[in-house]
Amino acid sequence: MGYTKTAILMAAMTALFMGIGYLLGGGAGLLLAFAVAAGMNAYAYWNSDKAVLRMHNAQECNSQIHPGLQRMVHRLADDAGMPHPKVYVINEDQPNAFATGRNPENAAVAATTGLLRRMSEEEVAAVMAHELAHIKNYDTLIMTVTATFAGAISMLANFAMFFGGNRERGGNFVVTLLVMILAPMAAAVVQMAISRSREYEADRVGAAICGNPLWLASALEKIQGFASRIDYDRAEANPQTAHMFIINPLHVHKRDKLFSTHPNTENRIAALVKLAGEERAATAVPVGRQNPWG
C-alpha cells in the first residue's frame, strides 16, 4: 500500500508540474518546464548527497572518528543484505539522523553526536536501521526528486509574476495570482504526504533490520522530546532538508510546524508497539538481538 500511495502522489506532483507549465506558456511552456526540471533533477541525482552532508558539516567515520558507529552500521547493512553505506557524524547536541544518496550503492547515513550521547546502544542501532531502510527502499532518491519538483513548481509560480499566464489564451490576472499562491502550497502538501508515507514504511523495515520494534519506538520517543527542546541551527538555516531526518529537527520558528513532513510520532510509536506484539504472538519468544555494536 505504501508504494502504491507514493506512486499516486508522485503522479499528482508530475501532473501539477505539467499543468502549471501549460498554464503559463502553453505547449512551449510545458516543454521548457520539463527541460528545466530534468536539469534540476539530474543535478540533484548526482550531487544532492554531497550537498546535504556539506550543509550539516558532517564528518566521515573512520578508525579514529567514531569507529564503533561505522562497525555497527556496516553490521546492520550486512544483516539487511545491503552494500555498506558511508557513515558520518554531525557535531550537534540535538539527537537526530538522516540518510542520503541516489541508490544503495551510493548512499550515506549520518547521526548527530547528540544521538550517540543520549541514546542507548540498542536505540542507536534502531535509528541507524531506520535510515538503512530508507536507503533500501530508495526513499532517498524519491525524496530528492519530490523536493526538486517542489522547488521547480515554486520557480514556475514565480515566473507567473513576469509572464502572466498563457498568452495564447489570454492572460488572466486572477488565475495567475492563484497559481502563484496555491501551486507551491499544493506541491508542499504532496511532498509532505509522500514523506509521511515513507516514514511509516521505513519504521517497519528498520524494525526488521535491527530485530526489535521496541528499540525504535523508544528512540523515537526520546528524540521527539529532545528535538522539541534543543535547537539545531544548521537545520533551521536549511529547512529544505528537514524531511530527511528521522524526527523533524525544526522547532524554533512558527513556520516550522505549519507544514510538517513527518507523521505524528505517537502514531509511529503505536504502530511499532503493535508490530512488536504481533511478532511476539507469532514466535512466542521475545524479539531482538544482542550487542548491536558488534
Residue 287 lies in a domain: no
> Among the options 92, 122, 123, 131, which is catalytic?
131
In this prediction, residue 246 has a pLDDT band, given cuts at 50, 70 and 90, of very high
How many CB atoms within 10 Å of residue 132?
A: 26
Taking the C-alpha atoms of residue 22 and residue 166, their distance in angstroms, rounded to an integer, is 7
State pLDDT tens for residues 65-82. Answer: 999 999 999 999 999 999
294 is a domain residue: no
Distances (CA, A) of 53 to 30, 47, 99, 199, 208: 33, 10, 10, 20, 27
pLDDT for the residue 170? 47
> Which pLDDT tens digit goes with each residue over 12-30?
767 777 777 777 667 776 6
Alpha-carbon gap, residue 3 to 246, rounded angstroms: 19
**293 falls within a domain:** no
**How many domains in the chain?**
1
Question: How far apart, in Å, are the Cα atoms of 172 and each of 8, 18, 163, 178, 241?
Answer: 30, 19, 11, 10, 35
Residue 137, domain extent:
2-279
Q: Please answer whether residues 45 and 182 qualify as being in contact, where contact means their C-beta atoms are separated by less than 8 angstroms.
A: no
Please name the amino acid found at residue 163.
F
What DSSP character marks residue 261? -
Question: Is there a domain that residue 37 lies in?
Answer: yes
Measured CA to CA, the distance from residue 152 to residue 138 in angstroms comes to 21
Cα–Cα dist 182/179, whole Å? 5
**Residue type at 175?**
V
DSSP 168: T
Residue 131 maps to a domain? yes
pLDDT in tens, 144-182: 777 666 666 766 666 665 655 554 444 555 656 666 666
Report the range out of 53-62, 137-146, 191-200, 273-282 with the highest average pLDDT.
Answer: 53-62
> Which residue in the block uniquely carries the three cell numbers 513527518?
262
User: Three-state SS for 40?
Assistant: helix
Gap between the terminal Cα atoms of the chain: 34
Q: Report yes or no on 50 lying in a domain.
A: yes
> Residue 256 pLDDT more than 90?
no
Q: What is the pTM of this model?
A: 0.79
The Cα–Cα gap between 89 and 181 comes to 38
Has residue 224 been placed in a domain? yes
Report the alpha-carbon distance of residue 82 to residue 74 in Å, rounded. Answer: 9
CB 87 within 8 A of CB 63: no
pLDDT value at 249 more than 60:
yes
Q: pLDDT tens, 195-208?
A: 777 899 999 999 99
Catalytic-residue membership of 221: no
From residue 150, give the alpha-carbon distance in Å to each of 195, 226, 267: 13, 29, 26
In a domain? residue 8 = yes
Look at residue 222 and tell me whether its pLDDT is greater than 80.
yes
Neighbouring-strand partners of residue 245:
98
257-262-264 Cα angle (round to 5): 85
